[in-house]
Amino acid sequence: MEDSPGQAPSPTPLDCLHLRWLEDGRLAAWAAPWNRSTVAHLREIPGRCWDPAQGAWLLPGSEETVASLRTRFPGVRIPGGGPPALDPAVKAREQLLQRLHEEMVTRGFAPTSRKVYRGHVRRFLEWLDTPEVRQFSAEDVRRYVTHQVEERGISRSTHGQILSALRFLTRTVLGRSDPVTEIPAPRARRRLPAVLSRSEVRRLMDAIRNPAHKAIVMLLYSAGLRVGEIVKLKGHHLDRDRGLIRVVRGKGGKDRYTLLSTRALASLDVHLDIQKARGLETEWLFPGSRPDRHLTTRSVQKVVRKAAT
């Protein structure tokens, strides 16, 4: 849409882009005022991650990032003209993280898995704080894991993720013998899951007043969906005639079908009817605050926690 005569032109994605180098060698980027296209372009940059504390996207401090910014934001001015002269340890770390990212993309890792692995490897390399990032030993890994368990109280799941990320780094990215094999995996707890009775499930559902929340909890419970799967459901994923839900790119990037119960469908239809009556047009069954985006996994987790209390 063109601007009306006399009106100031709408800001371009480049106008809204702000950049700042951080002490750790990364580049902070944000949109002010907020601009959808600016944010969309930033989300396309490899290795980026959102930092809520700074309210900015953190980008790898590399020539690849600078080139990517110049491609997506023609005419962009990079502070200082390019990446600053980095401490040797920081430079070595960023180069290795870039290689890690490229290997994961090549091997078809899901975005969530890439983010998790990259985060664990970055924190390990920052803890090492040495230019010789390729030469870490089994003792380095052991001391790091011990530090994480004792100082941060990480869970067994996180413990296992750290070992998996470092194993991928050594075997695949560095192509060297794997020191992680000498580190014992966390002992799994054997706990029986808590199973709700029918009356408890009924009371849980009856206590939920929000139609969208009720549909979410009903689908999670009856269809066995993961939180990350339910937020990405679209209308065409429902096979109403056969009572099935098609899950697209679920865990491990695999598609599958799961059951769509009549009660879950009835609850979902109540939510969709309300959504339609409000004139909300969206492809998502559970849209977020903006119709073009789905609900976040964190929002669903809050819904479940609230329903369970």
The tens digit of pLDDT for each residue in 5-25 reads: 555 577 899 999 999 988 778
Q: Do 107 and 174 belong together in one domain?
A: yes
pLDDT in tens, 274-300: 998 888 888 999 998 888 889 888 888
Q: Which tokens in the block code for residue 23?
A: 């002490």
* Structural contact between residues 22 and 84, judged by C-beta atoms closer than 8 angstroms: no
Residue 304 sits in a domain whose CATH number is 1.10.443.10
* pLDDT of 188 strictly over 80: no
> Over pLDDT 90: what percentage of the chain?
34
* Structural contact between residues 19 and 78, judged by C-beta atoms closer than 8 angstroms: yes
Does residue 135 or residue 215 have the better pLDDT? 215
Q: Is residue 5 part of a domain?
A: no
Unique residue bearing structure tokens 């209390």: 309
Q: Is residue 101 part of a domain?
A: yes
DSSP 172: I
SS3 57: strand
Q: Do 290 and 238 belong together in one domain?
A: yes
Q: Is residue 45 part of a domain?
A: yes
Q: Do 112 and 175 belong together in one domain?
A: yes
Amino acid at 160: G
Sheet holding 17-21, edge to edge: 17-21, 27-31, 56-59, 49-51
* Structural contact between residues 171 and 178, judged by C-beta atoms closer than 8 angstroms: yes
Provide the pLDDT confidence category of residue 29 given band limits of 50, 70 and 90. very high
State the total domains in the chain.
3
Q: Do 75 and 92 belong together in one domain?
A: no
Q: Is residue 248 part of a domain?
A: yes
pLDDT in tens, 74-106: 999 988 766 666 667 777 888 898 899 999 999
Provide the pLDDT confidence category of residue 68 given band limits of 50, 70 and 90. very high
* pLDDT of 1 strictly over 50: no
Q: Is residue 191 part of a domain?
A: no
* pLDDT of 166 strictly over 90: yes
* pLDDT of 4 strictly over 60: no
Provide the pLDDT confidence category of residue 51 given band limits of 50, 70 and 90. confident
Residue 106 sits in a domain whose CATH number is 1.10.150.130
Distance from C-alpha of 186 to C-alpha of 180, rounded to nearest angstrom: 13
Q: Is residue 215 part of a domain?
A: yes
Q: Do 177 and 116 belong together in one domain?
A: yes
> Over pLDDT 70: what percentage of the chain?
92
pTM over 0.75: no
- In DSSP terms, 257 is beta-bridged to 246
Query: Of 51, 81, 111, which closes a domain?
Result: 81
Does residue 2 or residue 266 have the better pLDDT? 266
**What would the DSSP string read from start to end of 127-177?**
HH--S-GGG--HHHHHHHHHHIIIII---HHHHHHHHHHHHHIIIIIS-S-
Q: Do 41 and 21 belong together in one domain?
A: yes
Query: Of 81, 103, 121, which closes a domain?
Result: 81
Q: Which tokens in the block code for residue 76?
A: 């962009």
Average model confidence (pLDDT) across the chain? 85
The closest alpha carbon to 156, from 205, 189, 116, belongs to 189
What value does the mean pLDDT take over residues 239-250? 90
Provide the pLDDT confidence category of residue 258 given band limits of 50, 70 and 90. very high
Q: Which tokens in the block code for residue 189?
A: 């707890």
Q: Do 136 and 207 belong together in one domain?
A: no
Q: What is the largest CA-CA distance in the chain?
A: 71
Q: Do 131 and 32 belong together in one domain?
A: no
Mean pLDDT lowest among 79-93, 131-145, 229-243: 79-93
Question: Residue 208: how many CB atoms within 10 A of its CB?
Answer: 18
* Structural contact between residues 32 and 51, judged by C-beta atoms closer than 8 angstroms: no
DSSP 21: E
Q: Do 141 and 106 belong together in one domain?
A: yes
Beta-strand pair 56-59/49-51? antiparallel
Q: Do 123 and 203 belong together in one domain?
A: no
Q: Do 100 and 177 belong together in one domain?
A: yes
Q: Which burial class, exposed, middle or buried, applies to 282 when counting CB atoms under 10 A from its CB (0-12, 13-18, 19+)? A: middle
Query: Of 81, 98, 126, which closes a domain?
Result: 81
Q: Is residue 187 part of a domain?
A: no
Q: Which domain holds residue 160?
A: 88-182
Q: Is residue 37 part of a domain?
A: yes
Q: Do 130 and 221 belong together in one domain?
A: no
Distance from C-alpha of 233 to C-alpha of 89, rounded to nearest angstrom: 43
